[in-house]
Amino acid sequence: MSVESDRTWLAGFLTGPLIVGIVALGISWKAAWIGMVCHFFIGTFLTLVALGYDKPQLARGTLWGFACALALAAHPLWLTFG
């Protein structure tokens, strides 16, 4: 695995947690689940574009980023709807 593919994976991975964090800081922790929903839509198209341009590391990082965003947003999701 080269440095370029590591950076590509990291770029895909960080989108999810960053979106959740920005929403949590900008609005409130209780609304942080909205960032996870936003990343679902953004990540879906980012994954499709990455696969179209033959960048499987970016697609893989985006999917792992969504899993991390889902884990981060589980508590705010429970606070809102639980």
Query: For the chain, what are the domain ranges?
Result: 3-81
Contact 19, 70 (CB under 8 A): no
CA distance from start to end of the chain: 42
Query: How many CB atoms are closer than 10 A to CB 26?
Result: 10
Closest by alpha carbon to 18, among 46, 10, 60? 10
**pLDDT reading at 58 higher than 90:** yes
Q: What is the pTM of this model?
A: 0.87
Contact 24, 32 (CB under 8 A): yes
Q: How much is the pLDDT for 1?
A: 62
Q: Looking at residues 54-70, what average pLDDT do you find?
A: 95
